[in-house]
Chains A and B, each alone.
Chain A
Amino acid sequence: MSFPWAKEYTPQHPLMRYLDEKLPVPRLVYNAVGGGYPVPRNLSYMWNFGVLAGFCLVLQIVTGVILAMHYSADSTIAFAKTEHIMRDVNWGWLLRYAHANGASFFFVVVYLHIFRGFFYSSYKAPREMIWLLGVVIFLLMMATAFMGYVLPWGQMSFWGAKVITGLFSAIPLVGEPLQIWLLGGYAPDDAALNRFFSLHFLLPFVIAAVVILHIWALHIPGSSNPTGVEVKSESDTVPFHPYYTAKDGYGLGVALLIYFAFVFFLPNYLGHPDNYIEANPLSTPAHIVPEWYFWPFYAILRSFTADFLSIPAKLMGVLAMFAAILVWFFLPWLDKSPVRSGHYRPLFRKFFWFGLIPTMAVLFYCGGAPAEQPYVMIAQLATAYYFLHFLVILPIISSIERPEPLPYSITEAVLGKDEAAQLEPAE
């Protein structure tokens, strides 16, 4: 698809014309991220994070494939192999730190991408499919990150594997056999480590495939924009290249500075020291926490401390944790307001900045804190608000809210008047 004014790919060189006839890959690239993709002219830096997430995926695949060249998924030597990478392999320390911090960086970028979607209601029609695919990507990322964290076979790896597969044991009747099946044993060992390694290698490529669908679906309606007003005419858009290749390139440069500050100066800041102790099935570390990017969901898991209507607390916690993400799938239908952008939705905006964001911050903090008071109670209140926000507050807001007046077009939002696009003199 494209807007009728999208520039046509016109190869000049005979070789490129030949290629365009036989295998039009350059045309595909031109129409996807080149001059042939018209993009709203008013995108802010919040629209950088899709490209950054794509960059992270490539970064993780490249460093991960290399790490796999030096690693062995044998529980007797996996821990030693990790140290082998750190000490013996040329530049191994850099590659492993780049991969471990790359995972964190990937989640930072994706969380910002998702919150951009929340604020600007990027999930609304006609972009529901993009959103649904995005949630699928996020779930795949969580599975991949979890299994990757098991591979160094430290204490946190082992107990993470045990606790997370333990979630499945909460399922009535089939739970315990299911956990044993997942692990290939009664506790994480060789069988579990090998299948986690295999799947950790496979899933990034599955993610890449869903990313392609995500981008494909995006290119049908085209990118959303901070006003939420759909593109009306050519003056509302600029070609992706050079305008957004330059803007994304700048954003990438800034992001890489922050990323490498961690890789080089704080490589273990986001990790846990206990993971430098080899896995010991006989001793659980005093305070086990998942990686920081799981903390909000971990807090929800731990919020259910008492049986609820004859459903055991353990099962409730697991259901709530999964529901906390699955509820995102229903967002396009929970938020019925015809206005997309939070900039024109006064009530929605208040609940976003003073409801959802602080709640996520509290859940994040409590998920990383020990499972004791007052954190448990605070997390319980935050969990309650979290579900209330998506399931009750959003639908109510969208029916009672009176949105602020929208600009007629993107051009008007940017230049004050739509016909100004033609009158603006050259610098």
Chain B
Amino acid sequence: MTETTVTANSVEGAEGTDGVRRRDFINVAAVSAAGAGAAVVLLPLISQMAPSADVLAESSTEVDVSGIEVGQAIKAVFRKQPLFVRRLTPKEIEEANAVDINSLRDPQTLAERTKEGHLDMLITMGVCTHLGCVPLGAGEGENKGPFGGYFCPCHGSAYDTAARIRQGPAPKNLEVPPYEFTSDTVVKVG
């Protein structure tokens, strides 16, 4: 054992008066450089799982709303998810406006959820804010639930005529995606 102790000391590097060896500097520098390099390598390895350029390129959708009758709804697709476009009847608008905003779980008025001058065009994602099922109510003859809007059959969330959450486990109103009217009859979503 004695000879290894000597051998080991002879290669461990000179020790300064402060107890820091010159070799410690090389050691810390090398490990730091390798660590920084490894951290940079993580960037592409993680980023590759994010949406690729072709997915992002499909991320806006144009919808022609001219054919939707009053009281009718259509399903479109936005970001590979259903989009509900619904032309409200005057009675449905009235019902939505009659609700006390402060009693809602996610307080919003119908006007806040539509564009100015298009109070009857309710455009929302068809994705329940609970766990992502497609609620019923947009299709002909589907169950619109107790509040006349949408009803999610998975866990019983009920939305009203402004697609606001009224009953059930969902925490939020159906999401209104960013959109604009590019003409009186065409909506560009996204």
Do the two chains bind?
Answer: yes
| Residues in chain A within 8 A of chain B (CB atoms) | 5, 62, 66, 69-70, 84, 87-92, 94-95, 234-235, 238, 249, 421-422, 424-427
CB distance from B9 to the nearest CB of A (A): 5
Q: What is the CB-to-nearest-CB distance from B92 to chain A, in angstroms, rounded to a whole number?
A: 43
A426 CB contact (under 8 Å) in B4, B6, B52, B55? B6
For this complex, 21 residue pairs linking A to B, each with C-beta atoms less than 8 Å apart, are A62-B45, A66-B45, A66-B48, A70-B48, A88-B52, A88-B53, A88-B55, A89-B48, A90-B47, A90-B48, A91-B43, A94-B44, A95-B44, A234-B4, A235-B3, A249-B30, A422-B2, A422-B6, A424-B10, A427-B11, A427-B13
Task: Give A422 to B34 CA distance when docked, in angstroms.
Answer: 35
Shortest C-beta distance, B20 to chain A (Å), equals: 16
CA of A123 to CA of B45 in the docked complex: distance in angstroms? 39
CB distance B48 to A427 under 8 Å? no
Tell me which residues across on chain A come within 8 A of B47, comparing CB atoms: 90-91
Q: Mark B42-59, 1 if CB is under 8 A from A, else 0.
A: 011101111011110000
Partner of A70, one of B6, B14, B52: B52
CB-contact partner of A425 in B10, B14, B44, B55, under 8 A = B10
Bound-state Cα–Cα, A187 to B94, Å: 68
Given the complex of chains A and B, what is the CA–CA distance between A421 and B4 in angstroms?
8
Asked if B7 is at the interface (CB within 8 A of a chain A CB), the reply is yes
User: Could you tell me which B residues sit within 8 Å of A by CB distance?
Assistant: 2-4, 6-7, 9-11, 13-14, 30, 34, 43-45, 47-50, 52-55
Contacts of B7 in A (CB 8 A): 235, 238, 421, 424
List the 9 closest A-B pairs by CB distance, nearest first. A91-B44, A88-B52, A88-B53, A422-B3, A426-B10, A88-B54, A90-B47, A89-B52, A426-B9
**A88-B55, A90-B48, A421-B3 are known contacts; what are 8 more A-B pairs with Cβ within 8 Å?**
A66-B45, A66-B48, A88-B52, A89-B48, A90-B53, A92-B52, A427-B10, A427-B13
Please, which residues of chain A bring their CB within 8 A of the CB of B2? 422
* Assembly CA distance A373 to B3 (angstroms): 64
Nearest Cβ on chain A to B50's Cβ, whole angstroms: 6
Per the bound structure, the CA–CA distance linking A234 and B45 in Å amounts to 44
A421–B7 Cα gap in the complex (Å)? 7
Closest Cβ–Cβ distance, residue B12 to chain A (whole Å):
9
Other-chain residue from A62, A84, A95, A427 in contact with B52 (beta carbon distance below 8 A)? A84
- Residues on A with C-beta less than 8 A from B10 are 424-427
| Chain B interface helix/strand/loop/mixed | helix
Query: Which A-chain residue is minimally distant from B55 (CB atoms)?
Result: A88
Complex Cα–Cα for A422 and B30 (A): 31
Q: Point out the residues of chain B lying under 8 angstroms from A249, CB to CB.
A: 30, 34
Give the distance in Å from the alpha carbon of A88 to the alpha carbon of B47 in the complex: 12
On chain B, the residues within 8 Å of A66 by CB distance are 45, 48
Q: What's the nearest-Cβ distance from chain B to residue A255, in Å?
A: 13
CB contacts (< 8 Å) of A427 on chain B: these are 10-11, 13-14
User: A105 to chain B: closest CB distance in Å?
Assistant: 16
Q: How far is the CA of A312 from the CA of B4 in the complex (A)?
A: 64
Q: Let me know if A92 and B9 touch, CB within 8 A.
A: no
Closest to B12 in A: A426
How far is A238 from B8 in the complex, measured between Cα atoms in Å? 9
Most chain B Cβ neighbours within 10 Å, of A66, A94, A235, A426: A426
Question: Using Cβ atoms and an 8 Å threshold, which residues of chain A touch B13?
Answer: 427
CB distance A424 to B48 under 8 Å? no
Give chain B residues whose Cβ lies under 8 Å from the Cβ of A92. 48, 52
Q: Would you give the shortest CB distance from A272 to chain B, in whole angstroms?
A: 25
Q: Is the CB of A95 within 8 A of B3?
A: no
Q: Given the complex of chains A and B, what is the CA–CA distance between A69 and B7 in angstroms?
A: 51
Chain A nearest CB, measured from B93 CB (Å):
43
Contact with A91, one of B3, B4, B48, B54 (Cβ below 8 angstroms): B48
Q: Which one of A84, A89, A249 has the highest number of Cβ atoms from chain B below 10 Å of its Cβ?
A: A89
Q: Which residue of A lies closest to B4 (CB)?
A: A234
User: Which B residues are CB-close (under 8 A) to A422?
Assistant: 2-3, 6
A169 to chain B, nearest CB (A): 40
Distance from B55 Cβ to chain A, minimum over Cβ atoms (Å): 8
Q: Which of B4, B9, B30, B50 contacts A90 (CB 8 A)?
A: B50
Answer whether A234 and B6 are a contact pair too, CB < 8 Å, given A90-B48, A90-B52, A95-B48. no
Residue from the set B10, B44, B50 with the largest chain A CB neighbour count within 10 Å: B44
Nearest neighbor of A67 in chain B, beta-carbon distance: B48
Q: Tell me how far the C-beta of A170 lies from the nearest C-beta in chain B, rounded to whole angstroms.
A: 42
Which residues of chain A are near B45, meaning CB under 8 Å?
A: 62, 66
CA gap between A426 and B10 in the complex, in Å = 4
